[in-house]
Amino acid sequence: MKSTPTHEARLEPRRHDLVFRSATLARRTTITPSYVRLRLTGAELRGFDSPGADDHVRVFFPGSVASTPEEMRAAPSREYTPVDWDGDAGWLELEVALHGDGVGSRWARTAPLGAPAGVGGPRGSLVLTGRPDAWLLAGDETAVPAIRRFAASMDADAVGWIAIEVPDAAHDLPIDAPPGVVVVQVHRGERPAGHELADWLDALDAPERPDGCIFGFVAAEQSIVRAGRALLFDRWASDPATTIVKGYWKRGTAEYHAPH
């Protein structure tokens, strides 16, 4: 896949004041048997914004309405990427992969509508500016919210690849992308999460590198970092200013903070 190198892009860091907001669960939509979209609503979500497609907010799951910010911050919590929001109307949508029996998956699966939640952040953003000549987005279910947001920022002439690793066809998570962007659902079957996606990345050889400025985003289980870096930095010599490779979660670790 080749493109004429005529554009420049880069990731620009932005810091934000850390704000904690109270909300309630207003809607749950099942997308696949192990993936849901949640809508949180509340007056304190007015003014919410998330400039970076890879932003993380920390969502808190108190057993009852927290009367103070300290009570909210003491509740169990997990990090998620905002998918959509309206800072005027006061709502925020998240997508959650229901893997295991962790506090976030359990709350996303079973919390009744009206259940309280807290939202902290985002604390900082990496904002993609300019226009890449080509895109490479790859991740498992946990990276789909960020990938959806990057794909939404593409113009109609964008080219590149998007690869999503899921268990099988029943769990496919389609991504809306321009015609020139190839979207692949990578099925891992019974293999450990990340292995099939790593093999897909390993199969992209140096001659397949598009010309010009490539934006690369690879995120999944922590072991994906090696394959993502081997492709983007070693074989494709990508610019770190337009590249994100990170583990969003770590096998065997319930609480893992993805690097920002």
Longest dimension (CA), the chain: 58
Let me know whether 113 and 139 are in one domain. Answer: no
Boundary residue ending a domain (107, 122, 137): 122
Burial of 93-109, coded b for 16+ CB within 10 Å and e otherwise, reads: bbbbbbbeeebbbebbe
Q: Is residue 259 part of a domain?
A: no
The token pair that represents 90 in the structure block: 């006061």
pLDDT of residue 207: 83
Let me know whether 141 and 205 are in one domain. Answer: yes
Let me know whether 116 and 133 are in one domain. Answer: no
Let me know whether 84 and 149 are in one domain. Answer: no
Let me know whether 155 and 67 are in one domain. Answer: no
Domain count of the fold of the chain: 2
The rounded average pLDDT for each run of 10 residues, N- to C-terminus, in the chain (260 residues) is 66 96 97 97 98 97 79 91 98 93 93 96 97 97 98 97 98 97 97 96 90 96 96 96 95 59
pLDDT of residue 113: 97
Let me know whether 147 and 240 are in one domain. Answer: yes
pLDDT of residue 3: 46
Q: Is residue 256 part of a domain?
A: no
Burial class (CB in 10 A: 0-12, 13-18, 19+), 11: buried
Q: 50, 59 in Cβ contact below 8 A?
A: no
Q: CB neighbours of 77 closer than 8 A, spacing ≥ 6?
A: 58, 59, 60, 61, 103, 118, 120
User: 153: helix, coil or strand?
Assistant: coil
User: In whole angstroms, what separates CA 207 from the centre of its chain?
Assistant: 28
Which residue range(s) make up the domain with 89? 17-122
Let me know whether 101 and 214 are in one domain. Answer: no
Let me know whether 69 and 152 are in one domain. Answer: no
- The Cα–Cα gap between 34 and 44 comes to 29
